[in-house]
């Protein structure tokens, strides 16, 4: 597995220890890279916005974009790169169409600050605000299909009307363009 924007490696370490997967992380901050090394992880200091040229095609079973997706300047290029080096991609993002967000905009008239979007607009690292419907459209444009989607809010799994009630979304993606090429 390849974990993009692995931070201090806490999540990746849990994954490696609990599931015994062979995994490595990419992180741009040298202090966080040092913490990953401290945890015994294989880690690469690099900026994912500059591409993943260090990895050959189809090196990984799965590429993770868990805390970083909305901070990427050009998500299209990075998702394409992720599908070049990996077979499947898991992306996590915050749903901007969650009812709490909708209510804040409607009644307060301010840019929302929620549990999932905890920073004010001038301090947030998130560049992109999207809903589940937006993400589906994004996948269609890229030729990527959503194999599995899990939605969460403060109460646990959000099953009913996820585009309204989900705060966080985790999706497992596969590229059907590659599949078409293979068959």
Which parts of this chain interact with another protein (CB under 8 A)?
24, 30, 33-34, 37-46, 53-56, 59
As measured in angstroms, the least distance from the Cβ of 92 to another protein is 25
Of 17 and 157, CB closest to another protein: 17
Contact 157, 150 (CB under 8 A): yes
As measured in angstroms, the least distance from the Cβ of 36 to another protein is 8
Of 59 and 114, CB closest to another protein: 59
Of 45 and 104, CB closest to another protein: 45
As measured in angstroms, the least distance from the Cβ of 9 to another protein is 11
H or E stretch covering 62: strand 60-65
- Whole-angstrom distance, CA of residue 111 vs CA of residue 41: 38
As measured in angstroms, the least distance from the Cβ of 2 to another protein is 10
Of 30 and 109, CB closest to another protein: 30
As measured in angstroms, the least distance from the Cβ of 8 to another protein is 13
Residues 6+ away with beta carbon under 8 Å from 27: 5, 6, 7, 9, 33, 36, 43, 44, 45, 46
Burial class (CB in 10 A: 0-12, 13-18, 19+), 26: buried
- Alpha-carbon Rg of the chain, whole angstroms? 17
Of 32 and 65, CB closest to another protein: 32
């Amino acid at each position: 597995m390849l974990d993009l924007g692995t931070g201090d490696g806490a999540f990746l370490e849990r994954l490696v220890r609990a599931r015994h997967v062979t995994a490595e992380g990419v992180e741009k901050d040298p202090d966080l890279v040092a913490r990953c090394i401290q945890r015994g992880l294989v880690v690469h200091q690099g900026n994912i916005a500059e591409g993943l040229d260090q990895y050959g095609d189809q090196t990984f079973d799965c590429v993770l974009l868990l805390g970083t997706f909305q901070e990427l300047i050009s998500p299209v290029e990075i998702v394409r790169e992720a599908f070049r080096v990996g077979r499947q991609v898991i992306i996590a993002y915050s749903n901007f169409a969650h009812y709490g967000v909708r209510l804040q905009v409607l009644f307060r008239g301010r840019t929302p600050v929620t549990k999932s979007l905890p920073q004010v607009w001038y301090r947030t690292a998130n560049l992109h605000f999207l809903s589940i419907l937006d993400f589906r459209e994004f996948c269609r444009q890229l030729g990527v299909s959503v194999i599995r989607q899990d939605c969460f809010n403060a109460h646990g799994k959000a099953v009913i009307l996820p585009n309204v009630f989900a705060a966080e979304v985790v999706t497992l993606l596969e590229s059907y363009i590659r599949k078409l090429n293979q068959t």
